[in-house]
Structure 1
Amino acid sequence: CGDSGYMAPEYAMDGMVSFMQDVYSFGVLLLEIVSGRRNQRNFNLIAHAWKLFEENKCLKLLDPTVRDQCFLAELEQASTCIQVGLLCVQESPSQRPQMAVVIPMLSQHQVPWRPLRPVVCVPVSTPADLRDMKEDTSGNFEMIITDLEGR
């Protein structure tokens, strides 16, 4: 099994096992190292990193005690780590880079493509978003609540 914070979506939802699960876990670990924070149920590090990345503020993800001591080249390297981490946590295993590609990206500080929004970042604003309201023939409403659970 494993810690749910490192579990790839395909394993958590369907129990599908693949080598790309390790890539997903590596991406989470990379984001944790850069930020100095853990990906937990009460703090979604991946969603936080994505939000900052979309706002072009990804360096705000860095641990402030580390960020304040970095030179420009080190900040660029950290930015690369964040982008690679986000590539590694893509929803579909086919969208994640293989580890043989990840290592050169990290060492050459070049990310060849932009990450897509990871599945864990899909906004759900209120529980009402998960509800379907259906009117029966008597004019009464029936509420159906879908509750998704991982394995």
Structure 2
Amino acid sequence: TKIEPVEGTEPGTVDIAVGLEPAPPHTIAGELGYGTGEGARAEVSWTHRNLFPPEGALTLRGVLGTEEQLASVIFRRNNFEGRDRVLTFQAAASNLKRTAYQARTVSLSGSLERQTNIFFQKKWTWSLGGELAASDERDVIVTTGAPRR
């Protein structure tokens, strides 16, 4: 980034010239951890910010852990049909194992939102979305020890 003052178009004024370079279009992120209640966990994600021009990003995310596994695909379109509108679709599959229950879940979701930002602050922001989820959950009845689905 390069910022320098330049002579303005009006006498006695100064403009600021800003030179920007685009960031790399890909992001790779990772996380490793251990929790006493969750065990070992590794998460990785890959994002391509302009895979579907203009401003259409794709994120692939995976979690592998002793008590959690997840895979998801997220599509995000910024400035969809207007400034600061964001369209998002997500598909995910997960397996979550906790002391109290186990859940295998598949979900599809989508949302459209109007965001505010530091330059174009809005009085009203909104978000509208929906999710379709199917889950197979299992636990044990505490009093009898019988498995329940």
Larger radius of gyration: 2
**TM-score normalised by structure 2 residue count:** 0.22
Using structure 1 for the length normalisation, give the TM-score: 0.22
- By percentage of residues, which structure has more strand? 2
Judging by fraction of residues, say which structure has more helix: 1
Q: Identify which of structures 1 and 2 has the higher relative contact order when contacts are C-alpha pairs closer than 8 Å and 6+ apart.
A: 1
